[in-house]
Amino acid sequence: MKEHRARKRFGQNFLQDRAIIQDIVRAVRPQFNDKVIEIGPGLGAITEPLVAAVQQLHVIEIDRDIVARLKSSPFVSKLVIHEGDVLEFDFASITGKKKIVGNLPYNISTPLLFRFGVYADDIIDMHFMLQKEVVERMVAATGTNDYGRLSVMLQYFFDMECLIDVPPESFKPAPKVDSAVVRMIPQKGRIGIAEDYAHFAALVKQAFQQRRKTIHNNLKDWADDPVLEDVGINPGDRPERISPEQYVALSNHLLEFDSQSE
């Protein structure tokens, strides 16, 4: 089969490093009967060892040429191939609890990560290769420079851990940035449950509208200072000083307030 030319528009940086591939599969710990979904199998670097471990592997791939290669691969009988854009894929169409894995195309990683929250109840765990800088933002502790909207919205659903640092030379072609593998495990209400998820999401978006301004300023149309203080928020703090728990509590408190004043 002729050599595949990597397509930039699909974020194709193929993993070459055997040791890293082994480390990823070891971290995923696939069991024979697990429902495993791989996003962007590409030329099969992670697909092959995964297929060897499980009964069946779902793969989601947008590149038609790659789909054609997968269809003529020796392990095709164990694959369920979903051709198309993962941003439009309905993960609920694969029933039951699942493990999701992928060396993700970096250009779509943030919108993709935002989509997983709604499926959290049906996810066992997820392991993703991402731009290191994105992983740092995902796992960032409250009060640090990297902490922002992405941290709050993902920490609301998942416990996350950076597992492996991966240098550019591990890929072909080599990306311009460092990469890292992150593990995401649904955390069941540990930081509280937002009564109205859409309200919570909108509140967090507004809170981080201008990072350098205080929470009092960013939320001036949403909450008066005494309301912020009710949930332990100092109105003079910047948005990165406020924990995911406090954002959840504030959202719930504001809704309670609204319903009382109706």
Contacts of 136 (CB under 8 A, 6+ apart): 146, 162, 180
Nearest-angstrom CA–CA distance, 179 and 200:
30
Residue 187 to residue 66: CA distance in whole angstroms: 35
Check: CB of residue 164 under 8 Å from CB of residue 20: yes
Query: Whose CA is closest to 101, among 177, 139, 46?
Result: 46
The 3 state secondary structure assigned to 195-237 is CCHHHHHHHHHHHCCCCCCCHHHHCCCCCCHHHHHHCCCCCCC
Contact pattern from residue 107 through residue 126 relative to ligand SAM, giving x for each residue in contact according to CB under 6 A and a dash for the rest: -x------------------
Does residue 139 bind ligand SAM (CB under 6 A)?
Answer: no
Comparing CB distances to ligand SAM, the nearer of 14 and 222 is 14
When asked if residue 59 is in the footprint of ligand SAM (CB under 6 A), the reply is no
DSSP assignment of 49-78: HHHHHSS-EEEEE--HHHHHHHHTSTTGGG
Residue 40 makes contact with ligand SAM by CB under 6 A: yes
131 near ligand SAM, judged by CB under 6 A: no
Contact string (CB under 6 A) for ligand SAM, positions 14-33, x = contact: xx------------------
**34 three-class SS:** coil
Binding of ligand SAM at residue 130 (CB under 6 A)? no
Q: Which CB atom, from 133 or from 256, has the smaller least distance to ligand SAM?
A: 133
Site for ligand SAM (CB under 6 A): which residue of 68, 76, 87, 174? 87
User: Is there binding between residue 62 and ligand SAM (CB under 6 A)?
Assistant: yes
Range in contact with ligand SAM (rule: CB under 6 A) among 85-93, 141-149, 227-235, 251-259: 85-93
| Candidate list 42, 148, 239, 244; residue touching ligand SAM; CB under 6 A | 42
Smallest distance from the beta carbon of 81 to ligand SAM, in angstroms? 11
How big is the site for ligand SAM, counted in residues (CB under 6 A)?
Answer: 23
Query: How many other C-beta atoms are found inside a 10 Å radius of the C-beta of residue 117?
Result: 16
User: Which stretches of the chain bind ligand SAM, using CB under 6 A?
Assistant: 10-15, 40-43, 45-46, 60-63, 66, 85-87, 103, 105, 108
